[in-house]
Structure 1
Amino acid sequence: MPEQILPFYVVCDQSYSMADHVDGLNDGLRELHRAVGTDPVVADKTRFCLIGFSGDAEVLQPLCALSDVVGIADLVVSPATSFGAAFTVLRETIERDVGRLKSAGHRVYRPAVFFLSDGQPTDPGTWPAAYDRLVDPAWHLRPNIIAFGIGDADEETIRRVGTVRAFMSQGGLGPGLALHEFARALTSSVVSSGEVTEAGDLVLRIPRTVSGFTALQVDQV
Structure 2
Amino acid sequence: MTEPVVKSRCLPAYMVIDTSYSMKSQEQLLNDTVDHVFEQLSSRPMVSEFAHISIITFNSDAHVVLEMTDIDQVQHLPTISCQGGTSYGKAFQLVRQRIDVDVTQLHAAGRAVLRPAVFILTDGAPTDSNWAADFATLTDQGFRRRPHIIAYGFGAANPAVLGKIATKAAFVAKDTENEKEAIVSMLTSLLNTLVTSASAQEFRIPEQADGYERVPIEFVD
1:55-204 to 2 correspondence within 5 Å? Answer: 55-124=60-129, 126-171=130-175, 174-195=178-199, 197=200, 202-204=201-203
Q: TM-score, normalised by structure 1?
A: 0.93
Deviation at 1:2, TM superposition (A): 5.0
Deviation at 1:25, TM superposition (A): 1.9
Mapped partners of 2:40, 2:173: distance in 1: 24
Paired residues of 1:163 and 1:218 also in contact (CA < 8 A)? yes
Mapped partners of 1:173, 1:184: distance in 2: 19
User: What residue is the counterpart of 1:212 in the other structure?
Assistant: 211
Q: Which of 19, 23, 38 does residue 14 from structure 1 map onto?
A: 19
Percent identity over paired residues: 31
Equivalent AA in structure 1 for residue 41 of structure 2: V
User: Residues 10-69 of structure 1, C-alpha deviation per residue, up to 9 Å, x if partnerless?
Assistant: 100000000111221221211111111122221111100000000000100000111001
User: Aligned pairs, how many?
Assistant: 215
Deviation at 1:191, TM superposition (A): 1.5
Mapped partners of 1:70, 1:47: distance in 2: 14
What RMSD in Å do the two structures reach over aligned CA positions?
Answer: 1.5
Mapped partners of 2:151, 2:41: distance in 1: 21
Equivalent AA in structure 2 for residue 113 of structure 1: V
Does the alignment pair 1:47 with 2:52?
yes
Mapped partners of 2:154, 2:66: distance in 1: 23
User: Residues 149-198 of structure 1, C-alpha deviation per residue, up to 9 Å, x if partnerless?
Assistant: 11001111111011000001113650111001011101111112112x4x
User: What residue is the counterpart of 2:28 in the other structure?
Assistant: 23
Deviation at 1:89, TM superposition (A): 0.3
Mapped partners of 1:81, 1:59: distance in 2: 16
Paired residues of 2:156 and 2:176 also in contact (CA < 8 A)? no
Paired residues of 1:173 and 1:212 also in contact (CA < 8 A)? no
Deviation at 1:96, TM superposition (A): 0.5
Mapped partners of 2:152, 2:176: distance in 1: 16
Paired residues of 2:185 and 2:209 also in contact (CA < 8 A)? yes
Q: Which runs of 5+ in 1 are unaligned?
A: none
Question: 2:164 aligns to what SS in structure 1?
Answer: helix
Paired residues of 2:51 and 2:194 also in contact (CA < 8 A)? yes
User: What residue is the counterpart of 2:3 in the other structure?
Assistant: none
Q: Which runs of 4+ in 1 moved over 4 A?
A: none
Q: Which runs of 5+ in 2 are unaligned?
A: 1-5
Mapped partners of 1:181, 1:69: distance in 2: 23
Mapped partners of 1:73, 1:148: distance in 2: 22
Mapped partners of 1:79, 1:65: distance in 2: 30
Mapped partners of 2:148, 2:12: distance in 1: 11
Mapped partners of 1:31, 1:53: distance in 2: 21
